[in-house]
Amino acid sequence: MLELFHGDEFIAGVITLLELALQRGYLVMARQFFEHRSEQEKCQYVAIAADHNDIVLMRWLIENGAPLSVHTSISLASDHVFRKQCVEVTWWLSESDRVVVIRNALQNNVRKLLLWVLDNTVFKDETSRNAIQSALTRADNVTVHWLCDNLSNDDARSWCFPLHQEGSSTVTPFIRDTLADRR
């Protein structure tokens, strides 16, 4: 049945059938169907599951090999209606994609997404850290101040807001004052 709907390009029907298969425990059948799809088709299924706000199915699709686009994850995590359940989709993104999410959150003042990603994920690559630092220097001071006050991940805090050093250009005067107030 899944193959028939897929062959007729009735993708929304496939999503419904996949959801039913998962609910009824037909995981092997769903997995076998999904393994034979191209990367592009898998992306389509994730996007449609996201459009239907079907987080359970979306998670299953991603955990079974579907890629998650940055655009889909930003849309879900930024949507004020679904933010509480969808911000965790950023866990599934690569580090470089999470940098894009951070930059987008800074640019659009999506504070809770910004805080969640920095508090709950790790940025090991120096290039990623530098890109985020650079975005922080260009961001709205009020948002940066809020982030500085609310960020609880000590590792992220240490490289997002390096301690004031004479002549340091990576820390804005606003952040420098905030960090000085905390001492």
For the whole model, what pTM was predicted?
A: 0.60
As given in the structure block, the two tokens for residue 44 are 């389509």
Please report, for the chain, the start and end positions of each structural domain, with discontinuous segments joined by +: 1-67, 93-183
pLDDT score of 103: 94
As given in the structure block, the two tokens for residue 24 are 């009824």
80 pLDDT band, cuts 50/70/90, is low
The angle, 0 to 180 degrees and rounded to 10, between the axes of the packed helices 95-108 and 70-78 is 40
In sequence order, which residues have a C-beta less than 8 Å from that of residue 142 and are 6 or more positions away? Answer: none
pLDDT digits (tens, 9 = 90+) for 81-133: 445 555 666 777 889 989 998 999 999 898 988 998 999 899 999 999 999 99
